[in-house]
Amino acid sequence: MRKTTLLTGLVLTLGLGSALQAQEMPTLDVPAVQVKDTTKVLTDSVEFIPVETDELIQDRLSCLEQEIPLEFNKQVRGLIDYFTIRNRKYTRRVLERKPMYFPMFEKALAKHNMPDELKYLAVVESALLPKAVSSAKAVGLWQFMDFTGRDFRLVQNHYLDERMDPEKSTEAACKFLKQLYRMFGSWEMALAAYNCGPGNVRKAIARSGGKNTFWGIYPYLPKETRAYVPSFTALVYALNHAEDHNLHPANLQTPIAVDTLLISQPLDLKLLAKQLNLPENQIVDLNPALKLKHIPENVYNFPLRIPADVRPFLAENRLAILDSARYRAPYKAPAKLKLPALTEEPTLILAKAEPVTSDSATKTFYTVRRNDNLSKIAKDQNVTVEQLKAWNKISGNVLMANQKLVVYKPESKTGQDVKETPAAEKTLLASAEEMPVSTGKNAGPSANDVPKENAAIVMVSAKQASAKKKAEVEKPQTVHHVQPGDTLWNISRRYNNVSVEKLRKANKLKGDELKPGMKLIVG
């Protein structure tokens, strides 16, 4: 990068009498400004970019300084030029978002009796984007890592990440910064520790020979942190003197009055917005902590933010609106049963008798303990990891202590009925020719001819087997696995409008109650 002399100001207008005003200033280490064709520049641009002297900027910073030192040096000057000259688009975008978040920051900082200027730290961290994610996986306005977020009770699970909740993450940031200030006794040092961690700041203090100021340990800090506090100072200046540098926001973002709706059902946020005659993504945008565009099942009293002006309409039509906006998972067609081919010869089937087990299941809840993982829980609950993930809509493998998991456990019922279970090790198949049968009047079966105790014998002729095979191939049974939220009525609608009464009769149901895990014959 080569040095050059910058213009104090550049005035470009489209009318007659356009002028180029210039005044020399000290040389800076910034990219060169090259103007090959003055006429082209005058007709292509209309922006005036002031470039102030060091003395003026230093004076303005001293007026802005309150509790946190705002030191002026060449590092700070270079970053001020970056935000006011080289990356004006970034600064304008921040100015547009400032009215949305700064009032909330100011209120939280005043509550904790902390310096008001700490609100500019969120600009350094995220440019005021609540869903910002860094390459290091830090998230939100205040860029919390997952473990730091959990330390300050920011919930993170399969559908929610409170690091993206503006109010909750701001409260957590205030507590964290106050903790760092108590640790180092300086707001500049607290800012450095917020970026690189208390451990790296302590190492820098030790390497510096015990110095306890940011600029005293500056050479010993990580490279990124060396630019962190200067960036903070430069942004305090740029956002307070934006107009002096001809920086004006195009579209100001301002907060709207919101109300809170407690939700305990699966809810599609886009459908809800449609029912309330709102822009499609407005409710999604008002709830940035939600990782999904819907509230999933098994969530109770979720505080959903909605525009306050729709509350009266919602109050009058609550049941109808929430029912219309209910989230329904994409339908998956059940797999059809594949029946094994039957032989033409008469066969003798010996099947071991087993107690009849109910297909119904009981919904239970398991509370995750420390050091639990999905494999361990699945083994303890006698289910599979895939079942746990499906029941709880978990995409990864991360669990949190005290998280509640849904577990469906089968209700085993032992009856007098016997069902035949053809299994390789429990079933003997023999053709009529292979099974010796005595035909004499007084002849009795030998020991080898007698089936073992508790075995059921079914004789099937070749004709019967052939007819049965043909019938079963022509009319395969369709089985539906009951999911949470299923009813006989909505199942009947899915399968060619089969009547509820037929479903009851085919499955020998006395009432309408269904339990997740049940298998229903639907066709």
- Among candidate residues 334, 218, 324, 330, the one with its CA nearest the CA of residue 273: 324
**CATH class held by domain 477-523:** alpha beta
Task: Compute how many other C-beta atoms are within 10 angstroms of the C-beta atom of residue 74.
Answer: 11
Spatial separation of the C-alpha atoms in residues 138 and 125, rounded to whole Å: 10
Categorise residue 185: left if φ over 0, alpha if ψ from -120 to 50, beta otherwise: left
Q: What is the pLDDT along the chain (523 residues), one digit of tens a residue?
A: 333 333 334 433 333 233 323 333 333 333 333 333 333 333 345 678 988 999 999 999 999 999 999 999 999 999 999 999 999 999 999 999 999 999 999 999 999 999 999 999 999 999 999 999 999 999 999 999 999 999 999 999 999 999 999 999 999 999 999 999 999 999 999 999 999 999 999 999 999 999 999 999 999 999 999 999 999 999 999 999 999 999 999 999 999 999 999 999 999 999 999 999 999 899 999 999 999 999 999 899 999 999 999 999 999 999 999 999 998 877 666 666 666 655 555 555 544 444 434 455 788 888 888 778 888 888 888 888 888 888 888 877 777 778 888 888 765 444 444 444 444 443 333 333 433 434 444 444 444 444 444 444 444 444 555 555 555 444 567 888 787 767 776 777 677 767 778 888 888 887 777 877 788 888 7
Q: Which residues are catalytic?
A: 125
Q: Which segments of 112-145 does DSSP mark as H helices, in order?
A: 121-126
* Helix 228-240 with 88-111: angle, nearest 10 deg: 100
Whole-prediction pTM: 0.58
For the purposes of burial, counting CB atoms within 10 Å of the CB of 405, is it exposed (0-12), middle (13-18) or buried (19 or more)? buried
CA distance 193 to 199: 8
CATH of domain 85-245: 1.10.530.10
Structure tokens at 173: 């940031």
Per DSSP bridges, beta strands 258-263 and 404-410 are unpaired
| Distance in angstroms (rounded) separating the CA atoms of residues 310 and 495 | 38
Q: Would you state the pLDDT for residue 85? A: 95
| Residue appearing with tokens 């809509």 | 393
- Per-domain residue ranges of the chain: 85-245, 258-324, 477-523
